[in-house]
């Protein structure tokens, strides 16, 4: 048990862990797990639903709800309460597992430069770029990251949580289980988004040089993960791509040695909301190629970019954002890929119009009858302090998917 957790907090956390274990033991969880395996293997069971409140958790579970006193205990408490809240409020397909995952203490030396930002006075407001790369010469300041593993800290983390939860939850040790590439996001944070857009026309070679460096850097990072034996299987409830999970019987590969996980045994994903093929996908697809199954996209509209996305090796899950043309995407994807639809999160803010939401969801379900579709409600930065809207949204979605 972490030394910073007092007996008062320990009692609260163990009680919550017991409740999570009870929920995880419900038959519906095993049923959902099997449905996800079929779904992720492109067998349409029915449209699947997942809800990730993200920024809205501060409105669903405000700090006043937490009962623990210590900061470390409150973080653990919040994580446990989100699982319980999800089960008790959302009629989605989240699988609650009776586990507690401990991440290995993996460190990186970084890229040689760190992003600088100018923040809003509003704690939840926007921020703007303060570029640290201002000329081609500045690219020379970039360095390839070196990966390190603090084995002593890893053992300490594992021992502490086994002492706290080991008799209630399955305490699991994982290394790097979530692999996702965000080259353009990384570079724009160093160069500035507006300037990167200008570089596409005014200085494309500089942009290509940057992307080539970041591609090679990420390739070296993955190689270090393999050499240090830090990769862990993610064919379970591990969050994948920009929504979804990894439940599948297709991974790991049949010749896998689970003591030494390879990229071929794992899911991986990438995205580039800022731009596409020439300056992004061309680099990302080479990084994704070694992995067993891949996903692509986030909030960007991929409607007119799908031909490029479909060239990505082992592509399985494709993000269809709120701004995408679902009719066109459905025709393009058919039942060959997971149609990972992101309904518009703004429907939970402002005026909540249940009839409009019902029509909106129904339209997508109609045009995706031939697709393997999942609905991922995420990027909900606020629900205007109306937590019940998530409950209502999922009730509407659940009623509709049962018809399809």
Give 368-391 pLDDT, tens digit per residue.
999 999 999 999 999 999 999 999
C-alpha pair distances (Å), 190 with each of 17, 109, 131, 270: 41, 16, 5, 19
pLDDT-derived band at 124, boundaries 50, 70, 90? confident
Strand partners, 147: 108
Which residue would you say has higher pLDDT here, 1 or 266? 266
Assign 352 to helix, strand or coil: coil
Give 49-93 pLDDT, tens digit per residue.
999 999 999 999 999 999 999 999 999 999 999 999 999 999 999
Is the per-residue pLDDT at 106 higher than 70?
Answer: yes
**Which tokens hold the place of 338?**
């997971």
Distance of CA 388 to the CA centre of its chain: 24
Tell me which H or E stretch contains 268.
Answer: strand 267-270
**Which tokens hold the place of 311?**
């060239």
Q: How many structural domains comprise the chain?
A: 1
Give the Cβ contact number of residue 350 at 10 Å: 9
Cα 255 from Cα 264, distance rounded (Å): 10
Cis peptide bond upstream of 252, omega within 30: yes
Residue with tokens 């998917």: 401
306, part of any domain: yes
Cα 234 from Cα 294, distance rounded (Å): 12
Give 275-294 pLDDT, tens digit per residue.
789 999 999 999 999 999 99
| Spatial contact of 337 and 373, defined as CB atoms under 8 Å apart | no
Q: Which of 327, 285, 280 is nearest to 300 (CA)?
A: 280
What is the pLDDT at residue 95? 98
pLDDT-derived band at 3, boundaries 50, 70, 90? low
Cα 52 from Cα 342, distance rounded (Å): 11
Residue 149, CA atoms < 13 Å, CB-side half-sphere: 17
What is the pLDDT at residue 4? 75
1, part of any domain: no
For the chain, the first-to-last Cα distance in angstroms comes to: 47
What is the pLDDT at residue 125? 86
> Average pLDDT for residues 299-328, to the nearest whole number?
97
97, part of any domain: yes
Radius of gyration of the chain, Cα coordinates, nearest whole angstrom: 22
Cα 47 from Cα 39, distance rounded (Å): 9
> Average pLDDT for residues 154-174, to the nearest whole number?
97
Domain region containing 333: 7-401
CATH number where 290 lies:
3.20.20.210
> Average pLDDT for residues 204-213, to the nearest whole number?
98
Is the per-residue pLDDT at 166 higher than 80?
Answer: yes
What is the pLDDT at residue 274? 84
Cα 189 from Cα 321, distance rounded (Å): 22
What is the pLDDT at residue 2? 65
Q: Which of 394, 392, 391, 385 is nearest to 58 (CA)?
A: 385
**How buried is 226 (Cβ within 10 angstroms: 0-12 exposed, 13-18 middle, 19+ buried)?**
middle
2, part of any domain: no
**Which tokens hold the place of 122?**
């509003």
210, part of any domain: yes
Largest CA distance in the chain: 62
Whole-number average pLDDT of the chain: 96
Phi, psi of 172 (to 5 degrees): -110, 140
What is the pLDDT at residue 188? 97
Tell me which H or E stretch contains 149.
Answer: strand 147-149
Cα 351 from Cα 273, distance rounded (Å): 28
Q: Is the dihedral of CA 222, 227, 229, 233 positive or negative?
A: positive
Give 225-269 pLDDT, tens digit per residue.
999 999 999 999 999 999 999 999 999 999 999 999 999 999 999
130, part of any domain: yes
Secondary structure E strands in 297-337: 315-320
> Average pLDDT for residues 307-311, to the nearest whole number?
97
Task: Give pairs for 23-32: CB < 8 Å, separation 24+.
Answer: 23/83, 23/84, 23/87, 23/96, 24/96, 24/97, 24/98, 24/99, 25/98, 26/96, 29/95, 29/96, 29/97, 32/93, 32/94, 32/95
């Amino acid at each position: 048990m972490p030394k910073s957790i007092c007996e008062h907090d320990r009692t609260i956390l163990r009680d919550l862990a017991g409740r999570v274990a009870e929920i995880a033991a419900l038959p519906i969880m095993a049923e959902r797990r099997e449905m996800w395996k079929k779904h992720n293997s492109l067998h349409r069971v029915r449209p699947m639903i997942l809800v990730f409140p993200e920024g809205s958790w501060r409105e669903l579970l405000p700090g006043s709800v937490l009962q623990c006193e210590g900061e470390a205990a409150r973080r653990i408490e919040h994580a446990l309460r989100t699982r319980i809240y999800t089960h008790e409020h959302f009629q989605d397909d989240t699988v609650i597992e009776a586990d507690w995952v401990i991440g290995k203490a993996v460190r990186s030396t970084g890229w040689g430069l760190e992003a600088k930002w100018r923040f809003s006075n509003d704690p939840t407001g926007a921020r703007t770029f303060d570029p640290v790369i201002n000329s081609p010469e500045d690219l020379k300041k970039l360095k390839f990251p070196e990966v390190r593993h603090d084995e002593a800290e890893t053992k300490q983390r594992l021992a502490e949580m086994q002492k706290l939860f080991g008799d209630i939850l399955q305490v699991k040790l994982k290394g790097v289980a979530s692999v996702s590439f965000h080259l353009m996001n990384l570079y724009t944070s160093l160069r500035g988004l507006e300037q990167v857009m200008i570089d596409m026309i005014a200085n494309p070679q500089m942009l290509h040089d940057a992307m080539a460096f970041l591609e090679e850097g990420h390739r070296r990072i993955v190689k270090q993960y393999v050499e240090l034996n830090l990769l862990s299987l993610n064919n379970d409830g591990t969050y994948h791509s920009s929504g979804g999970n990894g439940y599948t019987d297709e991974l790991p590969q049949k010749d896998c040695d689970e003591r030494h996980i390879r990229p071929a045994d794992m899911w991986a994903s990438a995205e580039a909301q800022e731009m596409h093929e020439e300056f992004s996908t061309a680099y990302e697809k080479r990084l994704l190629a070694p992995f067993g199954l891949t996903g692509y996209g986030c909030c960007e509209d991929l409607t007119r970019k799908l031909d490029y996305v479909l060239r990505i090796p082992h592509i399985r899950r494709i993000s269809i954002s709120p701004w995408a043309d679902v009719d066109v995407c459905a025709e393009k994807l058919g039942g060959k890929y997971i149609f990972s639809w992101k309904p518009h999160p703004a429907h939970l803010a402002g005026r909540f119009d249940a009839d409009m939401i019902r029509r909106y969801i129904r339209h997508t379900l109609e045009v995706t009858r031939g697709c393997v579709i999942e609905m991922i409600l995420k990027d909900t930065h606020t629900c205007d302090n109306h937590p019940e809207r998530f409950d209502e949204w999922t009730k509407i979605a659940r009623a509709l998917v049962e018809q399809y």
